[in-house]
Chains A and B, each alone.
Chain A
Amino acid sequence: MAMALRALGRRISHSDRFFSSLSEAAKPPSDGKLINLFTAINQALHIALDTDPRSYVFGEDVRFGGVFRCTTGLTDKFGRDRVFNTPLCEQGIIGFAIGLAAMGNRAIAEIQFADYIYPAFDQIVNEAAKFRYRSGNEFNCGGLTVRSPYGAVGHGGHYHSQSPESFFCHVPGLKVVIPRSPRQAKGLLLSCIRDPNPVIFFEPKLLYRLSVEEVPEDDYMLPLSEAEVIRQGSDITLIGWGAQLSILEQACDAAAKEGISCELIDLKTLIPWDKETVESSVRKTGKLLISHEAPVTGGFGAEISASIVERCFLRLEAPIARVCGLDTPFPLVYEQFYLPTMNKILDAIKATVKY
């Protein structure tokens, strides 16, 4: 999977709003060293703290480097006043971060696992998302970035594997961003930190060590709200984000052996999402399949499906397929039956194409 992801890195194309073929012209900055996801995030945090003296990183256990090592070396370089541990109170952490951001600072708060974000849900939804709106732009918490590892990891069980992205996609005023690889993560995280809106940045924890890619060492940003076409195809469009993309890639390869040409899109930013890129792709292929780990009912795939039906109803040749987690709590054993695996996606691709 690492090889595939590395290959992915080299074929990056930046899709502009009018969908075009792979453009060699829009190449990202010079190739750097091979590093994994947590190192890329670490580099992004270093750069963010370097470039803005009023930015802070805090959360549970971040001082020694964090349970996933994303914050190593920050305390040594920037000091305890800017990189510090908080007590175990997610509601307090995020509320406090909102306050920091409201006073013009960049607050980069870490929630140790996305499953623990729920006590902070109230602060995020009721305060962060509405701060600018209800104060008539007197104050805003645009400097807020919440980073959190999410997603299945193989042995996580109920409370170390959840994907809560769809809860936040339902809240106007927030942005939700999910990277798929180290190079994306660094650029997107820097964009999120510097974006003048509150952003939730979910990091696929499965990929922290697994995903390795060449990442430039300098400061670069990738645009938010732009989806990316990773693979060209003509028979069906596949959409995913985060760790699920590698599964979708495998399914693409398997489908290619059966003569089905798949177009693969990484949504990157879930809210506000790039409807135009997806729409142009569906206009080309006529079929769509969405895949995410979160439970299918009410997951973000439902929003994509409804929007695309509104826009491309007459062009669609088959119902939009959603291959997602089941509508149960994340199970302890039998994770592989719960998750949208490659086989499930392949079956759905075939069923959709042959509709």
Chain B
Amino acid sequence: MSTFSAVKILSPPLFAARSSSPFLASPFAPPLSRSGLRSTRLPLPPLAVSSDVISGQNPIASDSSTSRHAEVSREEALVLYEDMVLGRVLEDMCAQMYYRGKMFGFVHLYNGQEAVSTGFIKLLEARDSVVSTYRDHVHAVSKGVPARAVLAELFGKTTGCCRGQGGSMHMFSSTHNLLGGFAFIGEGIPVATGAAFSSKYRHEVLKESNPNGLDVTVAFFGDGTCNNGQFFECLNMAQLWKLPIVFVVENNLWAIGMSHIRATSDPEIWKKGPAFGMPGHHVDGMDVLKVREVAMEAIERARRGDGPTLVECQTYRFRGHSLADPDELRKPDEKAHYAARDPITALKKYILEKNLATEWELKAIVTKIDEVIEDAVEFADSSPFPPRSQLLENVFADPKGFGIGPDGKYRCEDPKFTEGTAQV
């Protein structure tokens, strides 16, 4: 529940953000012109998009008065629906498996926030990167990591996407450019910034460019993270070097038990973007189409090379912080308010109203997803646990330097291993 009024239009700073990118010409400021006026670069339009939920207007011209955002085609709508249902069914299955004892550890579920993940990630290509937090299962499946790999990883099996070494909070996939999975809040943002730098370098210096533009990095993180130093450091760096990155704040109003409003001096996170010279958007994160509209613009901006964007998505998690959280602190009416705005139900209603698909087709999608997840659970169940030798692997790059002893066998098979005195 937003107790603050979000200002609608954001104007760019009156001074231009001067780029000191090492790639684009000289890192020094352009010389003063003869008239003594500093030559500035005009701010690039468009930098302001208002969120419909606040303003009730739509700056992008639309045909009908009932549509409140850009139209989507039938195919696009079904893709979005399927992706959100996949996320929801996966998370519900995770909860079930956890309570049955198949999964262990700290598991953080994404129920209710699917619109943010789907809205952004479905606009990305395979070459774009995603960096997430510990609430990363749905980001992983949205990005294309098979549900089988995700569930096997959750069960700790060797067929998981990280060979069972990462677990719930550390989903990585090099094929799908998913850079994790960070248990520590804020630690992913600098990593995403570095990935964006790499993308820009490849494009501009190494000229390995894709005709469609730069590879974009999207960093997801929460409202609590926005009070952390790393967030601000990266906003600065990203804008300074005009990196192709989109910072997406999943503001679900709560950091375990701490309310965002009570922990932040200015709860309007999107305002922190313009403070660093980049556009900041605020969007209703329970509406996938609105998120998609804002995402499209932010991603295009990054792809063109115009620099980063900060997008704050107002969303809500239906469950507790983690499966171990009794979730006693949030008021029932707040929960009910957001439960009524379930993104999947909202999209379904939209699809049916616009006659983009029939109810039967949508049900068929849900059934299909149910089957996919059931299959994934069976796969994960039947997969083997990692062998004990895997415990010592992947500490360093060279397995012989660590995992394998001088006699060619794994060090954990050394009899001194059980004594605990084996030096690795």
Residues of A that sit less than 8 Å from B by CB: 60-61, 63-64, 67, 85-89, 91-92, 115-116, 119, 155-160, 296-297, 321-324, 326-329, 331-334, 337-338, 340-341, 343-345, 347-348, 351
Contact = CB atoms under 8 A, between A and B. Distances in A.
Nearest to B259: A85
A98 B170 CA distance: 33
B392 A61 contact: no
B106 A88 contact: no
B421 A116 contact: no
Interface SS of chain A: loop
29 contacts: A60-B258, A64-B328, A86-B263, A87-B227, A87-B228, A87-B264, A88-B225, A88-B255, A92-B227, A155-B104, A156-B105, A157-B105, A157-B106, A157-B169, A158-B170, A159-B169, A159-B184, A296-B423, A297-B423, A321-B421, A326-B391, A326-B392, A327-B395, A332-B156, A333-B164, A333-B167, A334-B388, A347-B418, A348-B421
Given A87-B227, A327-B395, A332 B105 contact: yes
A328 B421 contact: no
Given A155-B104, A160-B105, A334-B390, 16 more contacts: A61-B256, A61-B257, A87-B227, A87-B258, A88-B228, A159-B184, A326-B391, A328-B395, A333-B164, A334-B386, A334-B388, A334-B391, A340-B420, A343-B418, A344-B420, A348-B420
Contacts of B386: 333-334
Contact of B166 (A85, A160, A332, A340): A332
A88 B229 CA distance: 9
B263 A333 contact: no
Contacts of B234: none
Given A324-B420, A344-B420, A91 B229 contact: yes
Contacts of A329: 395
Given A61-B258, A345-B420, A116 B156 contact: no
Nearest to B228: A89
Contacts of B392: 326, 328
B94 to A, nearest CB: 15
Interface string B73-111: 000000000000000000000000000000011100000
A276 B125 CA distance: 65
B414 to A, nearest CB: 12
Interface of B: 104-106, 156, 164-167, 169-170, 183-186, 224-225, 227-229, 255-258, 262-264, 328-329, 385-386, 388, 390-392, 395, 412, 418-421, 423-424
Contacts of B255: 60, 88
A63 B329 CA distance: 11
Contacts of A60: 255-256, 258
Nearest to A328: B395
Contacts of B424: 326-328
Contacts of B164: 332-333
A112 B264 CA distance: 19
Query: Which of the listed residues A160, A321, A332 has the most CB atoms from chain B within 10 Å of its own CB?
Result: A332
Nearest to B325: A67
Nearest to B324: A67
Nearest to B328: A64
A329 B396 CA distance: 11
Nearest to A346: B419
Contacts of B227: 87-89, 92
A327 B257 CA distance: 35
B363 to A, nearest CB: 37
A184 to B, nearest CB: 25
Contact of B412 (A89, A115, A337, A344): A337
Contacts of B183: 115, 157-160
A86 B258 CA distance: 9
Nearest to A87: B227
List 3 A-B pairs, minimum CB-CB distance, nearest first. A344-B420, A87-B227, A323-B420
Contacts of B166: 332
Nearest to B387: A334
Contacts of A119: 229
A157 B167 contact: yes
A89 B224 CA distance: 9
B184 A85 contact: no
Given A64-B257, A88-B227, A89-B228, A160 B106 contact: yes
Contacts of B420: 323-324, 340-341, 344-345, 347-348
Contacts of A89: 227-229
Contacts of A332: 105, 156, 164-167
A297 B104 CA distance: 29
A345 B424 CA distance: 17
A75 to B, nearest CB: 12
A60 B258 CA distance: 8
A351 B421 contact: yes
A130 B229 CA distance: 23
Contact of A337 (B106, B263, B329, B391): B391
Nearest to B186: A88
